[in-house]
Structure 1
Amino acid sequence: MVEKSIHRRLVAILVADVVGYSRMMEADEAGTYETLKERRSHVLYPVVRAHGGRIVKLMGDGVLVEFASAIDVVEAALELQRKMAEANAGVPEPSEILLRIGINIGDVIGEGSDIYGEGVNIAARLEALAEPGGICMSEKVHNEVRGKIPVVMKDLGLVQLKNIAAPVRIFGMETARALLQTTLSRGREFTTIAVLPLTNMSGSTEQDYFADGLTEDIITELSRFRNLSVVARNTTFSYRGQSVNVAEVGRQLGAEFVLEGSVRLAGQRLRASVQLIDTQTGAHVFAERFDREMADIFAVQDQIVDAIIGRLFFNLQEVAGAVRARSSTTDISAYRSWLRAGAAWRNGDEQGARGHMQEAIRVDPTYAPALASLGLLYAYWRFSEPDAATDAGLEVECQEYAARAIAADRNDPFVLTSVAACFLLVGKIDEALRYSDIAISMSPRDMNVLVARGMILSYAGMHEEGLALVERGCKFEPLLPPAFLSSLGDCYYLARRFDAALTAYGTLIDPPYFFRLNQAACLAQLGRAEEAAIITRAMPAAFDADVYARNTAKICSLSEDAELWLNGFRKAGISIAQFSHRRPAKG
């Protein structure tokens, strides 16, 4: 038998897909079909021809196109998004045709008019990661067009794509659609940070690799945060070895903050120092020093990156709010309201946080972080103020916010995590596990993701695994918000470590009452019934401890965990109505 030859070639690949196509077809099947057909004829086909591309195939609401060069495919993608945005002018938002575009360069197999191979698969995966109206490209494409096309590209770091063995570094591009949204105050705003190369203070150039590797790791991890814009590595590394005015460099790069530091290796010990600097004032936001044994250099590198990311997590959001507040502009923005809500939440002002979130979605009804946060805050409200649990519509409302957040942005780890926590608090553990699993695969060092995932695992019955994640997430931040301390205490309690849980709950000054109620359960489990009774006797008249206790038991996946909570509350002197544990329903 004669073996059939395989024809391979290297091509630039574009995959595009219509955002929310199923929803649009359900609302207006005939109108959506006609609009899409018109856009293909008047936008897609002319743009592809103008840039020398070939439409390989149409796939329902999607298209696969091949080009001969990276420049051609990127210019075509930019023009396609620009013309789609122009065609949407005057069209009601639900009827707009928005594209996500993924671009890759790769070796493909040609069979007839079709093409196959990993190069096509990667482009398809990148399309799913692109913003609505945006473009996502592989590092291969970025390297080919860098400096040749005047467009902003954001390094989004290494991403593990489904069914692709090796991680792929990806870049997002600011398009005409995104610029239009920014003008209308409906797009995302970013806090921009530049990470300067860490200085090797060891006295040996042979150790430069470690300082450079640590710098690159920090850039990669920071790039995972969706509301954080990180200046590209190639730009900041041009300052390597230079004596610079850090605040001035930050202003030159358009960065609100600069992270700088040094690394010193001496024998079997390593010392790293880092400082975060506000470029508008030159003031240090924070400074940290890390001393480690060098038993495993790569483990040490991971520990330092963990520590730096952990310390940056809250400090950046806190100081970003201050920077926005002193800005000369008076424009209202959803992002600014979201930052204010975050500050209120970290300070224990639940009502203030809800108010700022409501303002954010008033400004932009599709602002996914605010929608997700509102879903979580309303779910949390049922615990912090159990009388709110009597509101039959509250549970429905928080899930509606969660659904709107996912519809607006399914690729943001913060959104996914907030939605997962919301589902946990309404007793839908399977949905909580699903969304938190996606979030932690996308952003494994994000404190918010770690703590929420750990809390969810603990309530799902995986106590030690969940506790380990929450402990890791809380390790580096000395001023933890109430929700983090509550999660830490809950995970210790479920792991039957009542002393540690008691310490976690007791960390805050003047905590919400339900923290005190959890303290009482810990004391009771430790045999300190009199101390527990003092807490329960001081219960505010408006606080319904019975409802709170049953709400807590309801979200446990295991009946023995539900009984553990109820037993602790009963021992503390709380009268609880009859309770029958049933495994929380699937979403």
Structure 2
Amino acid sequence: MESALPGHDEPLRLRLLGPLAVSRKDVACALPASRKLRALLAYLTVAPQPVGRAFLCELLWDVPNDPRGELRWCLSKLRGLLDAAGRERVVTADDKVALDLNGCTVDVAEISTAIATGLEKLGASRLGALSALFTGDFLEGLEVDRCPDFAAWLMAQRRRFRAWHVAVLEHLVACSDGSDDKIFVSLEKWIALAPFDRRAHLSLLAALAARGRLQEADEHLAATVRRFDTEGMDAGTLREEWRRIRTGAMPSVRMDTTPPPEPSAQRRRALAIMPFIGEAKSDGLTQDIITRLAKLRSFAVIARGSVAVLAERGVEPVEAGRRLEADYVASGTLSRRSDRLVVTIELAETRNARIVWTEVFDEAREDTFLVLEEIGARIVSAIAGEIEAAERGRAVLKPPASLDAWEAYHRGLWHMYRFTKDENDQARHFFETAVTLDPAYSRAYAGLSFTHWQSAFQRWADRKSESELAYKAAGQGLIADEHDPAAHWAMGRALWLKGGRDDAMVELRQAVALSPSFALGHYALSFVGCQSGDPREAIGSSDHSRSLSPFDPLLFGMLGTRALAHVRLGEFEEAAEWALKAAGRPNAHATIQAIAAYCLALAGRIEEGRVFAAAVRRTLPSYGFEDFRTTFQFPADVESLFRQGARRIGLE
């Protein structure tokens, strides 16, 4: 049996949905008239961590005369409103401000927690209680003049909670009792919030049909089609689904809210980037991100013009993504604070309004264009990584026989990143499934090439034959799409395996030229360069790959290549420290452990090196220096260094 919403017996309640309200023991508290004080209360309520006083002053006060004094006055008023005997709610420490709302009932906090937990896990009563919390827009009626940063934040919060309201209503409709006419209340709210959401209209049509109210359904469909036509949207899907409902193909109102399968089994996910809000350079940042993401070619990116039209009409990001049939939507803001540029970004799934990733980039703006370029590159790499991680997690939960090419590819990635022989074999199977389903899927060929590369590099199979298979799969990827950076990345790695170092560098440089935000391309340049190229350039490539993708599944390799580059420079202590970081990654394989053992030995840290040598031998009992030497392609003088290290720790 579900419990009621928590905290209802607590004395202090804050309501931010609808007009701001504070009550104590169910008695409304009189709020100060100051709009900035109310804005401050709302901002601190939502803030995930303490906020600096300087930031709050810039956010809400544009006057030069004593903004800190204004802030102190507001905080004193908030203490009078929120604090109770023996309990200070307004906390100030280290020039930062926070609210301690433990034990309070806060509507936006309850909703945020439910979204993070997963609406699909909740029953009808809980969803109904959440829906009742949406009594209006976020901070309805509150606007603060001449505070552009706060206005941008407020707009983003309103977008977020409208999208979450839609998600709650959608799940509430999906689990409602088909005989309960209260479903129409939820449906009307859903359609009012998202008038072009096909699922809302189909749910309403199904509910009407289940009650025999076919004429009402026909009238609703006709009105909806006219509205879609006015917006230049195709309503053909609605007509087709209504014909199915009318003929009894879908008689139940308890509809599965999963979108209907695509006509093609090879559909790849799509992403919409909403125009960034704020500074004049926002448009340039938006276009840069769209261009960089399109160059990655890992998923479809909706054209800027299509998104801009909806943004100009004030359509919320998640709703815009649904209209454009995008699976993900990203939105953000760009603002200046003193001598800094601040970019906020949020990536959400349009299906359920779940936030996949959010980040704030706060950088000194010594060179605005350079800073925005760097931030844009990091955003692009992060979005690509987060979408890939989300799709990997989704694919692994589906029955293998039901996977389409996109899902089989991501299921392959899930297994590939475990870095064991058995998981690598599983990954190869799913990549082969993907290219069978979609012979033009270049990314799947790159994945297939990677599994053969791993088999050769880790000596899980014959190195020569696996190298040829890696090269063949990479070539098929280039034939499928020569503009895919991953195809050139796979070819570069395969050529390195075959001993073609110079040709490998050409392909890898082409990969990063096609997509400067392709983190694995920069990592591969570091991998080849740390062995036989310029070691300082290899360090730069390693650092750049990690700045683009700081949580990459191949992070151990990015760290390991830097360690090897330091060995080339004779910087053994630095090499040992970077090797330890690499070996500390949870998916680091035996070769990375061996790198740590040799680097520690060269740094004179013999006992630590022997610990890692023993760990390698537990995994590979016969492992020795010859295995290490033939795995890599070092010059003779570097091989001699590593041989000295091997002697010191008994790993020769």
TM-score (norm 1): 0.60
User: Which residue does the alignment assign to 1:80?
Assistant: none
Q: Does 1:358 align with 2:432?
A: yes
Q: Does 1:388 align with 2:465?
A: no
User: Which residue does the alignment assign to 2:637?
Assistant: 560
Alpha-carbon deviation of 1:561?
A: 3.3
Post-superposition Cα deviations, 1:444-502, rounded to whole Å, max 9, x if no partner, equal 11112221122223333211112212211112434221x33224312332233313422
Quick one: which amino acid aligns to residue 191 of structure 1? R
The correspondence of residues 70-469 of structure 1 with structure 2, limited to 5 A, is: 185=265, 189-200=267-278, 207=279, 209-240=280-311, 243-322=314-393, 332-348=403-419, 349-365=423-439, 367-384=441-458, 386=459, 388-389=461-462, 393-469=465-541
Change (3 A) 1:459 1:194: same
Q: Say if 1:306 and 1:445, in contact at 8 Å, map to a contact too.
A: yes
- The total of aligned residue pairs comes to 383
Computed over aligned residues only, the root mean square deviation of the Cα atoms, in angstroms, reads 3.0
Gaps of 5+ in 1: 1-147, 151-181, 201-206, 576-587
SS of the residue 1:475 aligns to: helix
User: Which residue does the alignment assign to 2:594?
Assistant: 517
CA distance in 1, matches of 2:479, 2:587: 38
Quick one: which amino acid aligns to residue 296 of structure 2? F
Quick one: which amino acid aligns to residue 408 of structure 1? A
SS of the residue 2:604 aligns to: coil
Quick one: which amino acid aligns to residue 285 of structure 2? L
CA distance in 2, matches of 1:415, 1:568: 37
Post-superposition Cα deviations, 1:520-549, rounded to whole Å, max 9, x if no partner, equal 011101101122123223413555334431
CA distance in 1, matches of 2:400, 2:429: 22
Change (3 A) 1:404 1:219: closer
* 2:611 alignment partner, one of 518, 521, 534: 534
CA distance in 1, matches of 2:477, 2:399: 31
User: Which residue does the alignment assign to 1:475?
Assistant: 547
Please say which of residues 236-245 and 487-496 is displaced more in the overlay: 236-245
Post-superposition Cα deviations, 1:134-183, rounded to whole Å, max 9, x if no partner, equal xxxxxxxxxxxxxx9x9xxxxxxxxxxxxxxxxxxxxxxxxxxxxxxx97
Q: Say if 1:189 and 1:227, in contact at 8 Å, map to a contact too.
A: no
User: Which residue does the alignment assign to 1:16?
Assistant: none
Q: Say if 1:346 and 1:480, in contact at 8 Å, map to a contact too.
A: no
CA distance in 1, matches of 2:442, 2:637: 36
Q: Say if 2:519 and 2:549, in contact at 8 Å, map to a contact too.
A: no
Q: Say if 2:598 and 2:645, in contact at 8 Å, map to a contact too.
A: yes
Quick one: which amino acid aligns to residue 360 of structure 2? R
CA distance in 2, matches of 1:378, 1:327: 25
User: Which residue does the alignment assign to 1:46?
Assistant: none
Q: Say if 2:625 and 2:643, in contact at 8 Å, map to a contact too.
A: no
Change (3 A) 1:410 1:565: farther
CA distance in 1, matches of 2:596, 2:430: 30
Please say which of residues 451-460 and 311-320 is displaced more in the overlay: 451-460
* 1:548 alignment partner, one of 627, 635, 640: 627
Alpha-carbon deviation of 1:241?
A: 5.8
User: Which residue does the alignment assign to 1:40?
Assistant: none
Change (3 A) 1:232 1:296: same
Quick one: which amino acid aligns to residue 438 of structure 1? Q
CA distance in 1, matches of 2:275, 2:439: 40
CA distance in 1, matches of 2:365, 2:341: 6
Q: Say if 1:199 and 1:241, in contact at 8 Å, map to a contact too.
A: no
Quick one: which amino acid aligns to residue 502 of structure 1? A
User: Which residue does the alignment assign to 2:583?
Assistant: 506
Post-superposition Cα deviations, 1:4-59, rounded to whole Å, max 9, x if no partner, equal xxxxxxxxxxxxxxxxxxxxxxxxxxxxxxxxxxxxxxxxxxxxxxxxxxxxxxxx
More relative contact order, 1 or 2 (CA 8 Å, 6+ apart): 1
Q: Say if 1:501 and 1:522, in contact at 8 Å, map to a contact too.
A: no
CA distance in 2, matches of 1:246, 1:475: 28
Please say which of residues 486-495 and 216-225 is displaced more in the overlay: 486-495
Q: Say if 2:405 and 2:433, in contact at 8 Å, map to a contact too.
A: yes
SS of the residue 2:373 aligns to: helix
Q: Does 1:488 align with 2:566?
A: no
TM-score (norm 2): 0.54
Q: Does 1:574 align with 2:645?
A: no
Change (3 A) 1:413 1:466: same
Post-superposition Cα deviations, 1:350-402, rounded to whole Å, max 9, x if no partner, equal 34322322322343455432223222322222333x3534x653333333323
Post-superposition Cα deviations, 1:401-448, rounded to whole Å, max 9, x if no partner, equal 233333333221111101211222343212211211221211111112
SS of the residue 1:213 aligns to: helix
Change (3 A) 1:306 1:503: farther
Alpha-carbon deviation of 1:284?
A: 0.2
Q: Say if 1:218 and 1:309, in contact at 8 Å, map to a contact too.
A: yes
More helix as a share of residues: 2
Change (3 A) 1:411 1:563: farther
Gaps of 5+ in 2: 1-231, 235-261, 568-573
Quick one: which amino acid aligns to residue 299 of structure 1? L
SS of the residue 2:446 aligns to: helix
CA distance in 2, matches of 1:325, 1:456: 32
Quick one: which amino acid aligns to residue 397 of structure 1? L
Change (3 A) 1:247 1:429: same
Quick one: which amino acid aligns to residue 463 of structure 1? P
SS of the residue 2:586 aligns to: coil
CA distance in 2, matches of 1:362, 1:547: 39
Q: Say if 1:494 and 1:561, in contact at 8 Å, map to a contact too.
A: no
Change (3 A) 1:479 1:246: same
CA distance in 1, matches of 2:397, 2:316: 23
Quick one: which amino acid aligns to residue 381 of structure 1? S
Quick one: which amino acid aligns to residue 552 of structure 1? T
CA distance in 2, matches of 1:216, 1:303: 14
Quick one: which amino acid aligns to residue 388 of structure 1? A
Q: Say if 1:383 and 1:551, in contact at 8 Å, map to a contact too.
A: no
Quick one: which amino acid aligns to residue 497 of structure 2? L
CA distance in 2, matches of 1:404, 1:226: 16
CA distance in 2, matches of 1:402, 1:328: 28
CA distance in 1, matches of 2:384, 2:269: 12
Q: Say if 2:318 and 2:349, in contact at 8 Å, map to a contact too.
A: yes
Larger Rg: 2
